[in-house]
Chains A and B, each alone.
Chain A
Amino acid sequence: MTTRATSIGWGVTGVLAVVVAWELYKYLGPAEGVTVGDTGDAGSGQIILPRTHDRAMPHVWSMIVRLFEPTSGGDSPALIVSVAAAAAVTLGIAVVGWLIGVLVGFGLSLVMQRWRLLEWGLLPWIVVSQTVPLIALAPVINAIGNQIDRSGTPWPQWLSVAVIASYLAFFPVAVGALRGLQSPDRIHLDLMRTYGSGYWPTLVRLRLPAAVPHLLPALRLAAANAVLGVVVAEVSIGMRGGLGRMLIQLAGQGSSDPAAPWGPIFGAVVLGLIAAGSVALIGVGLKDYRRGEATS
């Protein structure tokens, strides 16, 4: 019980610290921020401290109150309801993206472990793949998806988004699982060899269990990446229904309704937590193999 209370206490303290820091800076900081090199002309100089007025930094309580006001005025549903609906769409796509990413990443790690030549050949490309900006990649994948759709095979837009998300999600899995599969000690591998075990028994009985402590953090990272990837992809290809597009839409109205865009931002934060937390469920099922892993 005490550990539970402590961890909840730390969690609440962390959130409160962010709120206090936000409000403190908003209170103390200059309304127009701090700009260096301002010559008096519009837009000159470089802002080094952000503006603190209500359009740039709404009060935390305004953001919370806004959550319970209608999204689009009138009798439209409360913002928090719209955010929840959009978050559900985004999460659904993120799950697909995560699954694709995990399958691809794990498959890559298996072949790279099996054949050293493939590791040498593939690993640099896997690392390089993550330097391609997502906003450059997203329209390409979307265009390919549209072509497939047009040629007769149904390819809904959300599938393109899921593929883009999987592009971010596969990387930690590929790298983490490879490390895990390579982690058994020489002495254990030698023992398997004395038993006359081939590749498959060694993989199933030694390498896979040994990979679990490396794999679980990688899966968690992949889950957070998948959510991030979906939100960014929604924005770059203009898919409606999810949090990304909602954020852009509300931000476009941000001059007159500055607290509204924070709704989908909170939604994205919660989604990231849900996604990473869901992976902990897998960890519960694999707890026998989690020796040596830092507890999450």
Chain B
Amino acid sequence: MRLSTRRGMIAASTVALTTLTLAACSSGDSADEPTEGSTSEETTEEFEPLTEVALQLQWLPQAQFAGYYVALDQGYFEEQGFDSVEIVPSGGDIVPQDALVAGDVDFAIAWVPKVLGTLEATGVELTDIAQVYQSSGTLQVSWEDSGIESVADFEGKRIGSWGFGNEWEIFAAMADEGLDSTTVSITTQDFSMNALLDGDVDAAQAMTYNEWAQVLEVVNPDTGELYQPEDFNVVSYQDTSGAMLQDAIWADTARLDEDPAYADAAVRFLKAVTQGWIFARDNPEEAATIVYDYAVNAELAYPVGPVHQLWQMNEVNKLIWTGADFGVIDSGAWDQTVAGALAAVNQDGLNLITAEPAESAYSNEYIEAALAELADEGVEVEGTYTPLEVELTEGGQ
């Protein structure tokens, strides 16, 4: 017995030592961060073009970010003169706008209301240079018999929310109905949909492209089949005045003004990203596969399966291709986001923002330049998306 125990222990400690070495090696990768733009202040038009940039995502790789991974995979970034584009996922540990302010990355993907909150709280300046998602994908999902058919019906109900800045549309929409957070019971929900399925909340927050699909991937114990959309009431915040702009590409305002190389890189970056999303629009299956492969192989993201990714790709395309030009910030939607952010008061009685953001908080200059250049090069930048019918499977596998 002693001998076999000893052998086992030796094996175990060898494993421990090997993994220790591996961990030490793999950590080396994170050391070579991209270097910041040219340090020398050069005068107009004369600059060394940036060839290495980093993009901060707001979550792990999934079809929500397909356009960026497609641009990487299809070489669109290279075509625009970038030798290396690093896409940095976040596991919730990195707040994209903070990473951008700190100079860890050159561009960041973040929801507009969250950044507006940061801008006011810290006084930094960032600019929304492309509004990738034109409409809001947030839903409030309740059971079909719950009687919750609009935001007005929230009164007296237990409403699930994720928090972490994802909750402002709820409060903005409620404010528009004359409800404040004391009239409902706000419950923090996790990222699974069990709170709704178990009846712990009356209505749960869900994104069209993620949690909504997760509900529809669960077997209904009464029928033995998957739950159907008819089993639920869905309030879409896009249909309310609480709708806010979501995934946008943010850049450092001061660098855009002072560093012509950065401003030039922003346009080239947007050209590549636009092409990436056009590819995702025209080839949703392939785009979903590309991002799924990145998530599984490169980033240890443990994503939900390929069917779920295709659903997500399909839903995300609906949010992006609304008929307007790709990425151009609609001033009406922007103003509505700002108005909602000003009106929303959360369950702690706090406002997201108390004053209008600076003029510099968004600019269509760069995306319009990018679209114009792409049009000159013969790329079809207009177009609409024809949604697929995605048949969900149990567990999205």
A-to-B contact residues, CB < 8 Å: 1, 3-4, 7, 32, 41-43, 51, 53-56, 69-74, 76, 82, 86, 88-89, 91-93, 95-96, 142, 150, 154, 156-159, 237-241, 245-246, 249-257, 274-275, 277-278, 280-281, 284
B395→A256 contact, CB < 8 A:
yes
Quick one: given A42-B200, A245-B91, A281-B10, are A89 and B19 in contact (CB under 8 Å)? yes
Is B93 within 8 A of A237, CB to CB?
yes
B20 near A256: Cβ-Cβ < 8 Å: no
Provided the pairs A73-B305, A95-B16, A156-B27 are in contact, do residues A277 and B9 lie with their beta carbons within 8 angstroms?
Answer: yes
**CB proximity to A under 8 Å, residues B1-15:** 1-2, 5-6, 8-10, 12-13, 15
Residue of A nearest to B306 (CB): A74
- Out of B9, B12, B214, which one reaches A253, CB within 8 Å? B214
Q: Is B181 an interface residue (CB 8 A)?
A: no
Quick one: given A255-B218, A284-B6, are A238 and B90 in contact (CB under 8 Å)?
yes
| Chain B hits for A7, CB < 8 A | 1
Question: In angstroms, how far is the closest chain B Cβ from the Cβ of A193?
Answer: 39
Q: Can you list 22 contacts pairing A with B, beta carbon distance less than 8 Å? A: A4-B1, A42-B200, A56-B194, A72-B302, A72-B305, A73-B305, A73-B306, A73-B307, A73-B397, A74-B296, A74-B306, A82-B302, A92-B18, A92-B19, A92-B20, A95-B20, A158-B27, A240-B300, A253-B304, A256-B217, A256-B218, A257-B304
Chain B, residues 179-214, CB within 8 Å of chain A (1/0): the string is 000000101001111110111111000000000001
CA distance A88 to B20 in the complex (A): 8
User: In angstroms, how far is the closest chain B Cβ from the Cβ of A215?
Assistant: 17
Tell me whether A73 and B395 are in contact (CB under 8 A). yes
Contacts known (A42-B201, A256-B396); A274 close to B12, Cβ less than 8 A: yes
Interfacial chain A residues near B292, Cβ < 8 Å: 72, 74
The residues of B that contact A92 with a CB separation of less than 8 Å are 16, 18-24
User: When chains A and B are docked, how far (Å) is the Cα of A54 from the Cα of B154?
Assistant: 30
Contacts of B295 in A (CB 8 A): 72
The complex places the Cα of A54 from the Cα of B24 at a distance, in Å, of: 40
Whether B200 contacts A43 by the Cβ 8 Å rule is: yes
Known: A54-B221, A255-B192. 11 other contacts (CB 8 A): A72-B296, A72-B304, A73-B305, A73-B395, A88-B19, A89-B19, A92-B19, A93-B23, A252-B190, A253-B304, A256-B395
Q: Which of chain B's residues 209-233 have a Cβ closer than 8 Å to chain A? A: 214-215, 217-218, 221
B303 in contact (CB, < 8 A): yes
The size class of the interface chain B forms with chain A is 35 or more
In the complex, A239 Cα to B31 Cα: how many Å?
16
Question: A81 CA to B275 CA in the complex, in Å?
Answer: 36
B92 within 8 A of A: yes
Say whether, besides A92-B16, A278-B13, A238 and B198 are in contact (CB < 8 Å): no
The interface residues of chain A lying within 8 Å CB-to-CB of B296 are: 71-72, 74, 76
CA distance A256 to B305 in the complex (A): 11
The minimal Cβ–Cβ distance linking A94 to chain B, given in whole angstroms, is 8
The answer, among A70, A237, A255, A284, for a CB contact under 8 Å with B214, is: A255
CA distance A253 to B218 in the complex (A): 11
Enumerate the 7 nearest inter-chain pairs by beta-carbon distance, A residue then B residue, closest first: A73-B305, A238-B93, A73-B397, A92-B19, A252-B191, A156-B27, A256-B217
Q: Is the CB of B218 within 8 A of A55?
A: yes
Contact across chains for A43 and B218 when beta carbons are under 8 A apart: no
CB within 8 Å for A88 and B15 given contacts A93-B23, A284-B6: yes
**Partner pick for A43 among B9, B187, B215, CB 8 A cutoff:** B187
Which of B90, B190, B195, B296 gathers most chain A CB within 10 Å?
B296
A156 and B30 form a contact (CB under 8 A) = yes
Q: Is B255 an interface residue (CB 8 A)?
A: no
Least CB distance, A181 to chain B, in whole angstroms: 26
- B8-50: contact bitstring with A at CB < 8 Å (1 yes, 0 no)? 1110110111111111101100110000000000000000000
Q: Answer yes or no: B60 CB below 8 A from chain A CBs.
A: yes
User: Assuming the A-B contacts A91-B15, A249-B301, A257-B395, are A284 and B1 also in contact, with contact meaning beta carbons closer than 8 angstroms in the complex?
Assistant: no
User: Do A91 and B396 contact each other (CB < 8 Å), given the known contacts A72-B304, A73-B307, A158-B23?
Assistant: no
How far in angstroms is the closest Cβ of chain A from B36? 12
For residue A253, which residues in chain B have a CB less than 8 angstroms away from its CB?
A: 192, 214, 304, 395-396
CB distance from B311 to the nearest CB of A (A): 12
B94 beta carbon closer than 8 Å to chain A: yes
Q: Does B83 contact A (CB under 8 A)?
A: no
User: Within 8 Å CB of A278, what residues of B?
Assistant: 9, 12-13, 16
Asked if B176 is an interface residue, CB under 8 A from chain A, the answer is no
Residues of chain A with a CB closer than 8 A to B93's CB = 142, 157, 237-239
B19, closest chain A residue (CB): A92
Chain B stretch 336-380: residues in CB contact (< 8 A) with chain A = none
Min distance, Cβ B175 to any Cβ of chain A, angstroms: 23
A82 CB → nearest B CB, Å? 7
Specify which chain A residues have a CB less than 8 angstroms from the CB of B307 in the assembled complex.
Answer: 73
Report the minimal beta-carbon distance from A153 to chain B, rounded to whole angstroms: 11
CB distance from A65 to the nearest CB of B (A): 12
The answer, among A42, A255, A280, for a CB contact under 8 Å with B157, is A42
Q: Smallest Cβ distance from B56 to chain A, in angstroms?
A: 13
Is there an interface contact between B20 and A96, defined as CB atoms closer than 8 Å? yes
With a cutoff of 8 Å between Cβ atoms, the chain A residues found around residue B94 in the complex are 238
Q: Which residues of A contact B202 (CB under 8 A)?
A: 42-43
Tell which of B190, B199, B306 touches A42, judged by Cβ atoms closer than 8 Å.
Answer: B199
Most buried by A among B1, B2, B16: B16
Known contacts A89-B19, A95-B20, A238-B92; is-contact A280 B5 (Cβ 8 Å)? yes
Chain B residue contacts of A254, Cβ below 8 A: 192, 194
CB distance B396 to A249 under 8 Å? no
Inter-subunit contact A251/B190 (CB<8 Å): yes
Report whether A43 and B60 are in contact in the complex, using a CB–CB cutoff of 8 Å: no
Q: Given A42-B200, A249-B301, A88–B30 Cβ distance below 8 Å?
A: no
- Chain B nearest CB from A262 CB (Å) reads 14
| Closest Cβ neighbor of B94 among chain A residues | A238
How long is the Cα–Cα vector from A154 to B32 in the complex, in angstroms?
Answer: 10
